[in-house]
Amino acid sequence: MQLRYNYRAYPNAFQRGALADAFGCARVVWNDCLRDRKDAHAAGLPYVTSAELSRLRITQAKRTEERAWLADVSAVVLQQSLRDLDTAYKNFFDSVKGKRQGRKVGPPRYKSKKDTRQSIRLNTNAFCLKSDGTVYVAKVGNLKVKWSRRLPSAPTSLTVTKDSSGRYFLSFVVDTEPDTLPEVEAETGVDLGLSAFAVLSDGRKIDSPRFLRRAEKKLKRLQRELSRKAKGSKNRAKARMKVARQHARVADRRRDFHHKASTQIIRDNQAVYVEDLAVSGLCRTRLAKSVHDAGWSSFVCMLEYKAALYGRTFAKVDRAFPSSQVCSACGFRDGPKPLHVREWTCKGCGAAHDRDHNAARNVLCEGRRIVAAGRAETLNACGAPVRRAHVPAQRGETGSSRRGQTTQVSIPEP
């Protein structure tokens, strides 16, 4: 399976300029190739192939006066930008044909130099890890990196990213084997909420930290200062950077909380079941800010890929399942209840229930039923583990390795 590891990079002034050139050249190649394909589609011409675009918009463009500066950056950056465009078109076509699951994917769009997030992608021909702890990037130089932990194996690709707050990150994708944990008997159902971030079927509650709400006062002040600055001025750019840094702090704290909570749940339980919430629908209600602050979707994604990484069973319970209406003791369906009702008594057996704990226990029972029906990944009839599907690298940083693994010689230990 593939894992992604992110590290903070600290380029000097010259390297920041070189990276800015690389970001700009990759964006120009993307826009030029996208324009050619859009024009061909509008004119009723055949789909322009990648080979033709590479020859026209990269090789020949370097020899023209208008695009001669494309030669100042690594050719790998330009080729990877074209490959990313091909991937975007493939996702769009697969979504239109119904081959891609999930929400519909729109066609590729033009990139702007005013985008606050810029990135380039490199393969092993354009970067290498040095023995002194730096990372060499072609036509950029040796980048200073803060190694927070080891890489489990040699990386296969590198993405250099500059976020909205001006920070630089190196994202390595590595191929590694699943790190299977020792089996345990415990299983759990997880009910996600707002008053408590998560309630487990064994009664444990994970409090909601509400990172955005806690930073809201400072964010309001910084955004007021930003709104008073003249558009296009340097003071406005400085104020925008302050707002972006504060938002980045909130996002970093939330991501760290999600990683710690999800890893603990996966390590303590052999099987984890969670309700498949309609997050996009809830984000259009009056609870939108609180839902975004909780970050349920990213948390569930972490549970899913960490279950595959550590050899655990994971299943989602359908959102139509009435987890809050059914008594977990006798199975009597007591009907829907408003959100302010946090405790209720079953009319069938008289058991008193905490709303969230009862829902978590129902999610556990329904998850076990789904696994028993064979709709989730588990052991087969002979007791042999079912072969797991390919797990691509996640967008966010992966969890830490459970045990020490062989590290490439050129990567320093943290």
CA distance 240 to 247: 11
Only one residue has tokens 């008073």, namely 228
| Beta strands 155-162; 168-175: pairing state | antiparallel
Beta carbons of 352 and 343 less than 8 angstroms apart: yes
Give the up-direction half-sphere exposure of residue 288: CA atoms within 13 A in the CB hemisphere: 6
Of the listed 191, 293, 366, 397, which one is catalytic?
Answer: 191
User: Which pair of tokens denotes residue 308?
Assistant: 């595959």
Rounded to whole angstroms, the Cα distance separating 391 from 307 reads 11
Identify the residue whose tokens are 């971030």.
197
Assign 3-state DSSP to the chain and report helix, strand, coil percentages, each to 5: 40, 20, 40
Task: Tell me which DSSP letter residue 377 carries.
Answer: S
Out of 32, 304, 356, 366, the active site residue is 356
Active site residue 318: no
Contact 210, 250 (CB under 8 A): no
Spatial CB neighbours of 144, under 8 Å, sequence gap ≥ 6: 9, 10, 11, 12, 133, 134
Tokens representing 217 are 């006062």
Which position has the token pair 């710690």? 260
Q: In this structure, is the dihedral angle defined by the CA atoms of residues 43, 49, 50 and 54, taken in order, positive or negative? A: negative
183 is catalytic: no
Q: How far is CA 255 from CA 169, 211, 401, in A?
A: 15, 10, 17
- The one catalytic residue in 275, 293, 304, 366 is 275
Cα Rg of the chain (Å, integer)? 25
User: CA-CA distance, 224 to 256, in Å (whole number)?
Assistant: 28
Q: Pick from 116, 170, 104: which is nearest to 143 by CA?
A: 170
> Does residue 163 have an active-site annotation?
no
Ramachandran angles phi, psi of 220, nearest 5°? -60, -40
Strand partners, 170: 7, 160
Dist CA 167 CA 255 (whole Å): 16
Pull the structure tokens for residue 162: 């500059």
The set of catalytic residues is 191, 275, 356
